[in-house]
Amino acid sequence: MEKVLNDFIYYLSVEKGLATNTLESYQRDLKKFLSFLQKNGILDISEVSRKHITDFLMEEREKGLVASTVTRNLASIRSFFNFLQKERFIAENPTVELESPKSEKKLPRVISFSDIEILLEQPPVGDVIGIRDKAMLELLYATGIRVSELVSLNINNINAKTGFLRCDGKGNKERMIPLGSLAIRSVQEYLKNGRQKLIKQKDEKALFINQHGKRLTRQGFWKILKKYAIKAGISAEITPHTLRHSFATHLLENGADLRSVQEMLGHADISTTQVYTQVTRKKIREIYNQTHPRA
């Protein structure tokens, strides 16, 4: 079973071109499932039945995992067995007609524009690290890119003259995102007075560099963001995705059309982007209730 799992991951990497983070997620989910099978005496993948899969998912729910995580586990298992059937490792697919558990749809957590402004003012622009941090925060809010996309940027992904960022998103799908003047100014300041003092090797391609002269990691950025959120006095929990959610919500609140926001976020399906309209409708309802004399 370990061999067919490795074959599947290789297939996702080479033929599907999935990102490293996605591959790791598939591998993690499926290793957990295979471990469950082995614990229950199933050593041949062709012996797996629908009941084995439902028992595994039920066990995961009993451990306290939320429905969305269990749904993701099932999606990984379903993709795995689709591959096995396609490659003729198995004759019948046990995931056919297997329903996903109903997942609670939570609205994205956003923070107000005033809190965003306070957050963006926290990095001390009098030192190299502060200049870098300011550029990262401005860029993240200006474009709505994912944190993995932020730390993967190279210096040639930014075109300050045209005011665009070229981003390689999920599945290596490229998209062009406009940059605001404040973000451009912060990035230019970092390139001029920050990055050159951080790099150790002249041929370094990474845009954002850590104190060791290497590409900044996702974990590194999370710590940076958390530090400035505390400094800004933002009580709500804030993650890099909070800035992405806030970017999309603030655009829609100010009249941006859904298709444009979908394009900038890199969503394959517009239904994923539509969740932000629920956030804006909720805010409109709150304003109405607070201001209408007969609300």
Task: Give me the mean pLDDT over the 88-97 stretch.
Answer: 90
Residue 103 has pLDDT above 80, yes or no: no
Is 197 one of the annotated active-site residues of the chain?
A: no
Give 8-60 pLDDT, tens digit per residue. Answer: 999 999 988 888 888 999 999 999 999 999 999 998 999 999 999 999 998 98
Is 267 one of the annotated active-site residues of the chain?
A: yes
Beta bridge pairs of residue 168: 174
What sign does the dihedral 223-152-27-61 (CA atoms) show? positive
Give 164-220 pLDDT, tens digit per residue. Answer: 999 987 777 889 999 999 999 999 999 999 999 999 998 899 999 999 999 999 999
Closest alpha carbon to 144 in 233, 240, 66, 10: 240
94-117 in b/e form (b: 16+ CB < 10 A) is bbeeeeebeeeeeeeebbeeebbe
Is 288 one of the annotated active-site residues of the chain?
A: no
Is 228 one of the annotated active-site residues of the chain?
A: no
Q: What angle do CA 225, 226, 227 make, to 5 degrees?
A: 90
**What beta strand segments (E) does 99-208 contain?**
158-159, 164-168, 174-178
Is 50 one of the annotated active-site residues of the chain?
A: no
Of 170, 215, 231, 283, the active-site residue reads 170
Confidence at residue 198, expressed as pLDDT on a 0 to 100 scale = 94
Cα 206 to Cα 193: distance, rounded to the nearest angstrom: 16
Q: What is the longest distance spanned by two Cα atoms in the chain? A: 69
Confidence at residue 40, expressed as pLDDT on a 0 to 100 scale = 92
pLDDT band of residue 272 (cuts 50, 70, 90) is confident
Of 28, 205, 241, 259, the active-site residue reads 241
SS3 200: coil
Cα 38 to Cα 34: distance, rounded to the nearest angstrom: 6
What sign does the dihedral 54-60-63-69 (CA atoms) show? negative
Of 141, 190, 228, 276, the active-site residue reads 276
Cα 250 to Cα 233: distance, rounded to the nearest angstrom: 21
Of 134, 244, 245, 250, the active-site residue reads 244
Q: What domains can you pick out in the chain, each with its CATH number? A: 2-86 (1.10.150.130), 113-290 (1.10.443.10)
Of 26, 132, 134, 146, the active-site residue reads 146
Count H helices, E strands: the chain? 14, 3
Is 294 one of the annotated active-site residues of the chain?
A: no
Weakest mean pLDDT among 39-43, 236-240, 267-271, 283-287? 283-287
Cα 259 to Cα 288: distance, rounded to the nearest angstrom: 27
